[in-house]
Amino acid sequence: MPSGKSATPAVEIEVDDRTVRVSNPDRVYFPASGATKLDLVEYYLSVGPGIVNALEERPCMLHRFPKGLAGEKVHQKRLPPGAPPWVETVELFFPRWKRTADELCVTELAQVIWAVQMSTVEFHPWNSRRADTEKPDEWRIDLDPGPASDWAQVRRVAHVAHEVLDELGATGFPKTSGGRGMHVYVRISPDHGFADVRRAALAFAREVERRAPEDVTTAWWRKDRDPGALFVDYNQNARDHTIAAAYSVRGVPEARVSAPIGWDEVDDAEPDDFTIFTVPARFAEIGDLHASIDEHVFDLAPLLEWADRDESEGAEPPAEPD
């Protein structure tokens, strides 16, 4: 007889009118806490409307950990093989490689849970949707702290960004990154290509830098940045650049979540407050803080005017994306 511990039987998860079979449910994904694959599934079920709202109709790259965080991390653009027929995709062309890939395109929660069954921990959607993947409808403000930055600095810059957004008449929806930074999303009309959205994002970043020069940099090259400065990373609006979705778990030992927060929470919230263990109860109590984002669409025209002004005064246009 073969020796050794037998595998834990798969479990079947009912998600609306779908059934998702989850294999190896007891596999430990987060060794520091002992959280398992099934714990990850249950987390995503608990925030279902929020994660679907964040991913809906967007091409989505998957960060997979087939053996949990202790094993290899896989950045996957193509849909993993073996998907049931109800898992939807969108075909994208990648000029650098001169080939296409069918990426996951979430339209319902069961597709998220299937991706978790396929060892996905993090979901990284595009800022455009399937109807026209070349026209973003989401402007992303990434507050990326430098090596010597701290969370207090992230908070200060978030308030400056909020001030500029208010003056523009734009509604920003903040969230923790799940790492050391913060993101703010703004819904925009899908009237511009990626290049214009990046130009607008850089013009915004420069205005934040003008107001907080002691905290902020927009320097493109890392070697040119003060390690204590926070980079307002406008390049996250480039084509095929993605960041973790709202409600996405991050592949870090604490099992942190990229969690929507209110502007009134910025001064009190800490990144470690939001994990797969704490966010479900929060979501049950307050719901999805990004639920109304589609109701607040901002026209980029004022920011493109700022970009024209900056460039006419000698500022460099955005460098080519990496």
The pLDDT, as a whole number, for residue 322 is 61
The pLDDT, as a whole number, for residue 5 is 53
Architecture of domain 11-125: Alpha-Beta Complex (3.90)
Enumerate residues 6+ apart whose C-beta is below 8 A from 36: 25, 26, 27, 28, 29
Please report how the helices 37-46 and 109-117 are oriented relative to each other, as an axis angle in degrees rounded to 10. 170
List, by residue range, all CATH 3.90.920.10 domains of the chain: 11-125, 138-241+295-312
Enumerate residues 6+ apart whose C-beta is below 8 A from 97: none
Buried b (16+ CB within 10 A) or exposed e, 109-119: bbbbbbbbbbb
Per-residue tokens: 297: 């669409």
The three-state secondary structure class of 14 is: strand
Instruction: Going residue by residue through the chain, which has 322 residues, state the pLDDT in tens, using 9 for 90 and above.
Output: 344 455 689 999 999 999 999 999 999 999 999 999 999 999 999 999 999 999 999 999 999 999 999 999 999 999 999 999 999 999 999 988 789 999 999 999 999 999 999 999 999 999 999 999 999 999 999 999 999 999 999 999 999 999 999 999 999 999 999 999 999 999 999 999 999 999 999 999 999 999 999 999 999 888 999 999 999 999 999 999 999 999 999 999 999 999 999 999 999 999 999 999 999 999 999 999 999 999 999 999 999 999 999 999 988 888 776 6
What CA–CA distance (Å, rounded) separates 3 from 124?
41
Domain 138-241+295-312, classified CATH 3.40.50.10800, yes or no: no
Buried b (16+ CB within 10 A) or exposed e, 221-240: eeeebbeebbbbbbbbbbbb
Are residues 73 and 64 in contact, defined by beta-carbon separation less than 8 angstroms? Answer: yes
